[in-house]
C-alpha cells in the first residue's frame, strides 16, 4: 500500500486553514476599507455647501424688482477683517454706511462708495444691534442688547454717553429688565424697544413714557421681543416688528393700536403669514418694508424675505430669495433706507451688508394675500 506523499515547501499541496483565514480576513478588510472610503465621499458630497448662484440672478429673474448694487464684506481679506454676523446697519445723511459688526463687537463706517473709513466702539460694545442717527447726523445711537445699554457716539465715532442714566430706577423696566434691540430719535425723545415694549427716554437718560403691558404679552397692546420698529415722521405713526408674537403692529403717536397683522384667531392661534419679523423700515414712498428672516423661497418673487405694506396695513408685495448667493439673503436682520432711496440690509449669515435698489414691486401672490388677510385686524381709523 503506497502512502500519500506529504506536502513540502516546494509542493505546498492543499493550503492549511490558517492561510485561508488570513486571506479571507485581508479580503474583508479591503472591502470594508473601500466601503468606508465610499461612505466618506458620499458624506462629503451631501455636506458640501450649496453653490452660489451667478451674480445678478435675482435681478435677471422675471418680475424681480431688486438689483444688488454692491456688497460690503469687511475692511480687508484677513479673517479678522471680514464681517462676522453683522446684524445692524444704518445710512447717514451723507450716504455713509455704518455697520454693527456684531460678531466682532464693533462699528464700522464706510463711505457712499463702500470705502472703509473708520472703526468705533471697540472695547465698549458687546452686542451692537439697532443703529440710528439723529436728525443732524451728529449723534449715532447704538442699541446693545447684551450690554443692556444704548450707546451714543459722535458722527466721527467718538463715544459720548449711554442710556439709561446711571441713577435710573431699574424697576421701571419691569420683570424682564432692559434689553435694547432698536432705537429711534423722535422729537425730544429717544425711543428704544426692549423685551416687553417701547421705552421713551428724555435727553437726560430717564424713562418718561412706556408702551406695553409691563411684561411680555400676546394681547393687543403687549409685545414679546419687539426686535425692531420705525417711525413715519409725516404721520407720526409707529410700526413695530413684534418678533416672538410673529406679527406687525401699527400705533399712532399716543400709543393707540391702529392695526395688527398676525393677530391671533378665535382659538388664540396665530395664522402663519409671518414667520420671524425682525426689522421694519419706512420708505420714502411711505410704504412699510418688513424683513422676515424665515419667510422666503428659492426665487425672488412669491414668498419673500422683504414684505411691503401700505401705511394702512395692506399687503403690496414681497420679494427676496433665500440662499448663499450674491443676489439672495441668508438670515437677514436690520434694514435701512438711505436718503437717496438705496436699501441696505444686514445679511447676517452671508457675512455682508447688501445694498440694492428697487424698480417697482411684483404682483402679490393670491394665496399669500388670502393668508395675510386672515390674520389682519384693524382697530382704528387710519385716515391721516
List the grid coordinates of 322: 433665500
Q: Worst-scoring range by mean pLDDT, 33-37, 135-139, 142-146, 323-327? A: 33-37
How high is the pLDDT of residue 194?
A: 98
Dump pLDDT digits (tens) for 69-109.
Answer: 999 999 999 999 999 999 999 999 999 999 999 999 999 99
For residue 245, tell me if it sits in a domain: yes
How high is the pLDDT of residue 304?
A: 84
Distance CA(63)–CA(365), nearest Å, equals: 12
For residue 37, tell me if it sits in a domain: no
Domain count, the chain: 1
Q: What is the torsion angle, in degrees rounded to the nearest 10, for the CA atoms of residue 190, residue 244, residue 83 and residue 298?
A: -130
Residue 51 has pLDDT above 50, yes or no: no
Distance CA(290)–CA(307), nearest Å, equals: 5
What band does 60 get if pLDDT is binned at 50, 70 and 90?
very low
Dump pLDDT digits (tens) for 141-154.
Answer: 999 999 999 999 99
DSSP result, 238-257:
EEEEEGGGTEEEEE-TTS-E
For residue 18, tell me if it sits in a domain: no
Task: Let me know how long the chain is.
Answer: 384
Distance CA(94)–CA(47), nearest Å, equals: 44
Residue 130 has pLDDT above 80, yes or no: yes
Dump pLDDT digits (tens) for 11-45.
Answer: 434 445 555 555 655 555 556 555 554 544 444 33
How high is the pLDDT of residue 58?
A: 36
How high is the pLDDT of residue 54?
A: 37
Sequence-distant (6+) residues with CB within 8 A of 50 are: 323, 324
List the grid coordinates of 26: 485581508
Residue 308 has pLDDT above 80, yes or no: yes
Distance CA(60)–CA(57), nearest Å, equals: 5
Residue 56 has pLDDT above 60, yes or no: no
* Cβ-contact 262, 273 below 8 angstroms: yes
Three-state secondary structure call for residue 165: coil
Distance CA(291)–CA(281), nearest Å, equals: 9
Report the candidate in 283, 211, 222 with the shortest Cα–Cα distance to residue 247: 222
For residue 333, tell me if it sits in a domain: yes
Residue with cell 447676517: 348
Sequence-distant (6+) residues with CB within 8 A of 221 are: 211, 212, 213, 255, 257
For residue 351, tell me if it sits in a domain: yes
Domain residue limits at 89: 54-378
Residue 298 has pLDDT above 90, yes or no: no
Residue 1 has pLDDT above 60, yes or no: no
304 vs 235: which has the higher pLDDT: 235
How high is the pLDDT of residue 99?
A: 99
Distance CA(214)–CA(221), nearest Å, equals: 10
How high is the pLDDT of residue 361?
A: 84
CATH at residue 314: 2.120.10.30
Dump pLDDT digits (tens) for 332-368.
Answer: 999 999 999 999 999 999 999 999 999 988 788 898 9
Three-state secondary structure call for residue 326: coil
Burial letters 162-180, b for 16+ CB under 10 A, else e: bbbeeebeeeebbebebbb
How high is the pLDDT of residue 266?
A: 56
Burial letters 270-283, b for 16+ CB under 10 A, else e: ebebbeebbbbbbb
For residue 40, tell me if it sits in a domain: no
- Structure letter (DSSP) for residue 80: G
Terminal alpha carbon distance of the chain: 124
For residue 342, tell me if it sits in a domain: yes
For residue 3, tell me if it sits in a domain: no
Three-state secondary structure call for residue 218: coil
Distance CA(227)–CA(225), nearest Å, equals: 6
82 vs 384: which has the higher pLDDT: 82
Residue with cell 455704518: 98
Which run of H or E residues covers position 358? strand 352-358
Average pLDDT over residues 213-238: 96
Residue 50 has pLDDT above 70, yes or no: no
Amino acid at each position: 500500500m503506497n502512502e500519500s506523499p506529504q506536502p513540502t515547501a516546494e509542493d505546498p499541496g492543499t493550503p492549511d486553514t490558517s492561510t485561508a483565514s488570513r486571506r479571507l480576513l485581508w479580503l474583508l478588510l479591503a472591502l470594508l476599507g473601500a466601503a468606508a472610503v465610499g461612505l466618506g465621499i458620499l458624506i462629503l458630497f451631501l455636506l458640501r455647501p450649496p453653490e452660489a448662484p451667478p451674480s445678478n440672478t435675482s435681478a435677471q429673474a422675471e418680475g424681480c424688482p431688486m438689483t444688488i448694487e454692491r456688497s460690503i464684506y469687511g475692511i480687508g481679506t484677513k479673517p479678522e477683517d471680514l464681517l462676522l454676523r453683522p446684524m445692524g446697519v444704518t445710512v447717514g445723511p451723507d450716504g455713509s454706511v455704518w455697520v454693527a459688526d456684531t460678531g466682532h463687537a464693533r462699528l464700522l463706517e464706510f463711505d457712499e462708495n463702500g470705502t472703509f473709513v473708520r472703526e468705533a466702539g471697540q472695547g465698549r460694545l458687546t452686542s451692537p444691534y439697532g443703529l440710528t442717527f439723529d436728525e443732524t447726523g451728529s449723534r449715532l445711537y447704538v442699541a446693545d442688547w447684551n450690554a443692556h445699554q444704548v450707546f451714543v457716539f459722535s458722527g466721527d465715532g467718538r463715544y459720548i454717553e449711554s442710556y439709561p442714566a446711571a441713577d435710573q430706577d431699574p424697576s421701571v423696566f419691569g420683570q424682564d429688565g432692559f434689553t435694547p434691540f432698536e432705537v429711534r430719535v423722535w422729537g425730544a425723545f429717544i425711543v428704544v424697544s426692549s423685551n416687553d415694549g417701547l421705552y421713551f427716554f428724555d435727553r437726560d437718560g430717564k424713562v418718561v413714557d412706556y408702551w406695553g403691558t409691563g411684561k411680555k404679552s400676546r394681547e393687543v397692546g403687549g409685545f414679546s421681543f419687539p426686535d425692531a420698529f420705525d417711525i413715519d415722521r409725516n404721520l407720526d405713526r409707529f410700526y413695530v416688528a413684534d418678533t416672538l408674537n410673529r406679527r406687525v403692529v401699527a400705533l399712532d403717536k399716543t400709543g393707540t393700536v391702529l392695526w395688527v397683522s398676525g393677530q391671533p384667531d378665535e382659538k388664540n392661534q396665530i395664522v402663519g403669514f409671518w414667520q420671524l419679523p425682525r426689522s421694519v423700515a419706512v420708505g420714502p414712498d411711505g410704504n412699510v418694508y418688513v424683513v422676515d428672516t424665515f419667510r422666503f423661497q428659492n426665487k425672488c418673487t412669491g414668498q419673500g424675505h422683504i414684505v411691503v405694506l401700505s401705511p394702512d396695513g395692506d399687503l403690496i408685495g414681497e420679494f427676496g430669495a433665500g440662499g448663499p448667493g450674491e443676489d439672495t439673503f441668508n438670515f437677514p436682520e436690520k434694514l435701512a433706507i438711505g436718503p437717496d432711496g438705496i436699501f441696505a440690509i444686514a445679511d447676517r449669515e452671508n457675512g455682508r451688508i447688501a445694498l440694492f435698489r428697487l424698480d417697482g414691486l411684483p404682483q402679490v401672490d393670491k394665496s399669500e394675500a388670502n393668508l395675510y388677510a386672515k390674520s389682519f385686524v384693524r382697530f382704528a381709523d387710519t385716515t391721516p
